[in-house]
Chain A
Amino acid sequence: MNFIRNSLMGRLITAATFWILIGLVIAGITLASVFRAHVEKQLNDDQLTHLNELIDHTQINDKYILELVRPLSDPRYAKKNSGYYWEIQKQGKILARSNSLQGPVLAIPKDDLPTVIAHRHEIQGPTGFLLTTERAYWPDPATAPFRFIVGIDHQHLTGVMSHFNITLMWALSIFAIPMIIASGIFILFAIKPLNDLQRALERVRMGQENKLVGTFPNEVMPIVNDLNTMLVTSADMMQRARAQAGNLAHGLKTSLAILSDEADQMAQAGLKEHASTISEQSRRIQILIDYHMARARAAVASSAPGTSTNVTDVTKNIISALTRLYQDRNIKVDHEGLQGLFVACDPQDLNEILANLLDNAFKHAKSRICLSVVENPVESHIELIIEDDGHGLPAEAWEVVFNIGERWDSRTNGSGLGLPIVHDLTTLYGGYVRLSEASLGGLRVTLALPSVEL
């Protein structure tokens, strides 16, 4: 029932099936009625022919004695209780009857119809209900007329109709099945543009496209155009919001740089306590700006449709940059396994996530970093594994380092902001980041993000 209630196709197919069945029932009733009328007429015509034949084969002599010259041509009148009967009566007495007819005289009701005109009655016969045709012959107006009666058992009509109705029912049923299937195919064809639209929207939602792509009929095209306009407007608004937030951060950071420098000068002038307070607060403001900028950007980007990024390209770019940055460390990075991977994530945010993780790996690795991929660890996600051969982190630090400002190892540079940003961005995109012990001896970072298949 839910399929019918919730699906346009279900509703259309159900309605079409219903109307096909109603139509076929009406057609069946009409056809049966027409056929019954035809069969009844055929029976009546046969009876009339047989009646005329009976009258023709009967001779009445000068003394008005009736004599049958030869039997009727239809052999069924000769077979006992065949359902085909004839009888000739005069004043309620049987003068002659067919061999098929047994029992009492046929009880033909009296009527006011002209006796010389053939007319019909329905009476009780020897084998059931009997359809009769009667015609009177009146050779001597002074005496009673001869009544020629031909009857056919109603079972013959019922039998023919029953056989016809069963055949008709099967025929209509067989006809109904392809009609319902055909209507289903027509409906599928008719609503195909809607399915195409749904798939186009799905591709946008999955980040495979940034607008609805495809050929749609004139009736659907206005919706497609409106949706595409909305997507473009939405993307423009995001870009503007992102640029304005960036400009705000830029402006604030320049002022913070001046404040920090002022603090340095105050420290040199001997006001170390005041300088320290200003420096610390400047640092906190900087961390909050960076953190909330990243979050705000990701909150907008993660809800933006049509976002997908090539993990392989982004990773190679970052590794190239970090290899240059840490060139004197001679760290070997193995990233052969990253080929043709796409995730539903804004490029800037993926850069932020991966660069933070890889920068940590470069900082702590002794000589080697290894990147690998696990596809579909959970539905429609990929896991990127980053392992280094550094000292790693103790298990109790694996959760703590995701808190803002927490730095487990204060010997290396850093704001304590990288991993919290990675954690928040990844969560916003519906993924996760986990730390564990690497097989190389250092830290193993497992990063999961929604994958995109192009």
Chain B
Amino acid sequence: MRVLLVEDDDELAGRLSHGLKKEGFVIERAQNGPDGLAMGLDCEFDVIILDLGLPEMDGLEILKRWRSQKIDTPVLVLTARGTWTEKVEGLNAGADDYISKPTHVPEVAARLRALVRRKFGTASPVFQHGSLCLDSTAGEVTLSGERVELTAIEIQLLSYFMHRIGRVVSQYELAESIYGSQDVRESNTVEVYISRLRRKLGRDVIKTIRGLGYKMDR
């Protein structure tokens, strides 16, 4: 799951990135308002963490600009002062949820997953597709009731597909969702992970659409 973190405090951003990466998120960070605005407009993310108190450009302003440009990516705002005035302003500017500092990585991760689920219209953290079941909170996968051991990257890939059932996903998009735009590896890395998933979950789980990418059928 690809996350844009717009946070100016290096230490806080570093710790949050580190913690969220461990939870299976791919983090890309913007250190200030203008960078955050540009990255939100130019790149596609599953969810955005936006600190409201940013230098150079206020977090609320960035949020309003994104929404006016039809960027509907779910946004979790970080409020430093924790006042309801900040939260209400943030939500009315287009934020989907808020979290007050000091943040705890597990709580942030849970909120991010909930936002992504809401975006794709599923309230439950458990995704069911035929006999395949993914518990995104616990990071567990079962096939016909039997637990299947997947690596963190494999779970990320599977989660990405299960959020986009019936949609064709390109190799580049998949690579970005795993590594982020700063660290896109060779496209055959994605192929390796796809083949591993097919081996563990069944060949027909993910179909190859020649020239376009991959798809998980409805």
Point out residues on A near B: beta carbons under 8 Å: 246, 249-250, 253-254, 256-261, 264, 279, 282, 286, 290, 293-294, 317-318, 320-322, 324-325, 327-328, 347-348, 351-352, 355-356, 359
Contacts and interface: CB of A to CB of B under 8 A. Distances in A.
B91 A249 contact: no
Contacts of A264: 19, 104-106
Contact of A317 (B82, B92, B95): B92
Interface string B16-56: 10010000000000000000000000000000000001000
Interface string B103-144: 111100000000000100001000000000000000000000
B84 A352 contact: yes
B16 A261 contact: yes
A290 B100 CA distance: 10
B82 A257 contact: no
Contacts of B102: 253-254, 256-261, 282, 286
B82 A290 contact: yes
Given A258-B11, A264-B104, A321 B91 contact: yes
Given A279-B104, A321-B92, A347-B85, 13 more contacts: A250-B101, A253-B82, A257-B12, A257-B103, A261-B15, A261-B16, A320-B92, A324-B91, A324-B95, A328-B118, A328-B123, A355-B84, A359-B84
Contacts of A259: 102
B1 to A, nearest CB: 19
Nearest to A286: B102
SS of A interface (majority): helix
B106 A254 contact: no
B87 A355 contact: yes
Interface residues of B, number: 31
A260 B103 contact: yes
A254 B14 CA distance: 13
B84 A318 contact: yes
B85 A348 contact: yes
Contact of B101 (A257, A293, A321, A324): A257
12 contacts: A249-B81, A250-B53, A250-B80, A254-B80, A257-B12, A257-B102, A258-B102, A261-B15, A318-B88, A325-B91, A348-B85, A355-B88
B87 A321 contact: yes
B159 to A, nearest CB: 20
A352 B83 contact: yes
B173 interface: no
Contacts of B53: 250
The 5 closest A-B CB pairs, nearest first, are: A257-B102, A355-B84, A321-B91, A256-B102, A261-B15
